[in-house]
Amino acid sequence: MDLPDLIRGVNRLLEQTLEAELKPRGMSAHQYRVLEALSERNGLPMGDLATRVFVDSPTLTKIIDRMVQSAEVYRGPDPNDRRKVLIFLSRRGAAHFEDIGPLISSIQQDILDRLGASDAAALTSLLSELLGGSVSSRPRTFRGRESLSYDDKAASK
């Protein structure tokens, strides 16, 4: 199997795992990614948000429309340019994101456990390189706990 097929296969497996966990909670993987992106930087333009969640603009518009209906996000004017619309995380969306945090941490920990710290760090670095460095390689903190923190785990091995 060539590299693109392996990447697609792993992505599909991760998407299926994520969807299986999120669906009973009334959320899709795309909706989760929107909440995640807005929790990291609230008040994003649609174009920036589409890039962060890896979807095209028409798809994102449909996702945001559903999330506005469920009051997880809301649209508001850009204070610097009233012609632009920004997407904001609502309190309800933030609470929903907080509720599913342990679930996502568990999925990420499963990956780390399967790969080991050094291989996970190497894979993260390589995939970030393939994406052109558009993904931060620093560990992300979730609820006061680092998520997929390779350096700390590698040091403890």
Where residue 44 sits, what CATH number does that domain have? 1.10.10.10
Q: Is residue 74 situated within a structural domain?
A: yes
Q: What is the pLDDT of residue 63?
A: 97
Q: What is the mean pLDDT of the chain?
A: 85
| CB-based burial label for 48 (10 Å; 0-12, 13-18, 19+) | middle
Determine if residue 140 is left, alpha or beta; phi over 0 gives left, psi from -120 to 50 gives alpha, anything else beta.
beta
- Token digits of residue 133: 């460095």
Distance of alpha carbon 36 from the chain centroid:
5
Domain span holding position 91: 3-115
Does residue 41 sit within a domain?
A: yes
Q: Please tell me the total count of domains within the chain.
A: 1
Q: Whole-model pTM above 0.85?
A: no
pLDDT band at 145 (very low <50, low <70, confident <90, very high): very low
For residue 154, being part of any structural domain is answered with no
